Amino acid sequence: MDLREIFACSACGVPMDWTQARLRVTCGCDRGGALAADLSLRRADEGDGAALQALCMRFFHHTDLIAWGQKYEIAECENLVAERNGRLVGLLSYVYQDDCCLVVAFAVGGGEQGRGVGAKLQGLLEGECRGRKIWKMVLSTTNDNLPALYFYQRHGFRISEVLPGAVADTLRELLGGEVPEGFGGIPVTDEIRLKKELSREGSA
């Protein structure tokens, strides 16, 4: 499987896969500029099924994902997408459970990262939550996913729980053997859960 579109080097633009990626400290001067006018955000519809599956396979290797101890099929979730020139470049999948919104999957394609696509999708979902009087958002990621941990904490999420070994155990069960390397070659072992309390300021 070709995974080279997961990330693109911020310096030279060369596409890379999950294990080749590296983090570096910058001042933000190379973020690639503001969003172009041809980016649109919308709710996914029935015609997006194949594109949603392809995006999930590229990022997650499968379309059924485990979040907070439960398995979800992307097609059965609610989905917001970012689209540029007729191509899906971002995805935010979620479900509503009782008094909270559970984010199941969040992905932005290589070459689009660092340009505000994720923030726009996040803002759109938060607006929807407020409209439904939902004031809490939760999600989980893995210990190796440093870009996700950076993004989520930058956007108001706080770590609420760490489950050591939970992801490794689940992956061994699903894969029947050794756990693959994660971001930058970091072993995938732990589940990290985060939550965000939405502000009620200005709500009716």
Best CA proximity match to 5, nearest among 147, 113, 110, 145: 110
Q: Where does 61-165 have alpha helices with state H?
A: 117-131, 146-154
pLDDT in tens, 62-116: 788 888 878 899 889 999 999 988 888 999 999 999 899 999 999 998 778 888 8
C-alpha dist (Å) from residue 37 to 84, 122, 164, 197: 9, 18, 43, 31
Contacts of 204 (CB under 8 A, 6+ apart): none
Who has greater pLDDT, 125 or 65? Answer: 125
Fold of 65-197: Aminopeptidase (3.40.630)
On whether the CB atoms of residues 95 and 128 are closer than 8 A, the answer is no
Contact criterion met (CB below 8 Å) for 90 and 121: yes
Say if CB 44 and CB 51 are below 8 A apart.
Answer: no
Q: What is the mean pLDDT of residues 186-194?
A: 93
Q: For 14, what's the count of Cα atoms within 13 Å in the CB-facing half-sphere?
A: 7
What are the residues facing 82 on neighbouring strands? 41, 90
Q: Which residue has the higher pLDDT, 137 or 6?
A: 137
Q: 146-167, pLDDT tens digit by residue?
A: 999 999 999 999 999 999 998 8
Q: Which of 124, 34, 43, 33 is nearest to 83 (CA)?
A: 43
- Cα 170 from Cα 69, distance rounded (Å): 10
* Predicted local confidence at residue 8, as pLDDT: 74
User: Is residue 134 over pLDDT 90?
Assistant: yes
